[in-house]
Amino acid sequence: MAFRRMSPKRQQTFRDAQTEDDVSKLMANYVESVEKETLSKEGWKQSAYYDISKTGVIALTRIQAAAFKSDSSKQDVLINCCCPGYVSTDMTNHKGIKTPDEGTLTPVYCVMLPGNLTEPQGSFLSDKTVVETW
């Protein structure tokens, strides 16, 4: 994951993000760093936008899930994000190791979690399992 290849200082900026605006600013900072060609200097991983955007999605998921968790009228809502895995699609030039059907398993699993659960909440899942990202 892109997060693991960021500098410790940059990783901390994601851990410290508390609002949707914080995440938006991080993403804007990434784009600015790309334009200025200062990615390494600013602690970003040299990466395609895709990897960094997924790190932003994970941060946003945690923030939104925390907001729902603190709202008693939304206790039956789970907010998580997931990775389908390396799926053989046009995006991977059909080099993925999973079929599209296999790639749907984790997203469908997330959608089908019963509303009376309290966990996983604000998590990143892969292969129907919570993955600790940071």
Catalytic residues: 49
| 125 strand-pairing partners | 82, 130
* 64 phi-psi bin (left φ>0, alpha ψ -120 to 50, beta other): alpha
Phi, psi of 75 (to 5 degrees): -65, -20
Q: What is the Cα–Cα distance from 47 to 68, expressed in whole angstroms?
A: 32
Q: Look at residues 88, 109, 108 and name the one whose alpha carbon lies nearest to residue 98.
A: 88
Backbone angles phi, psi at 83, to 5 degrees: -120, 125
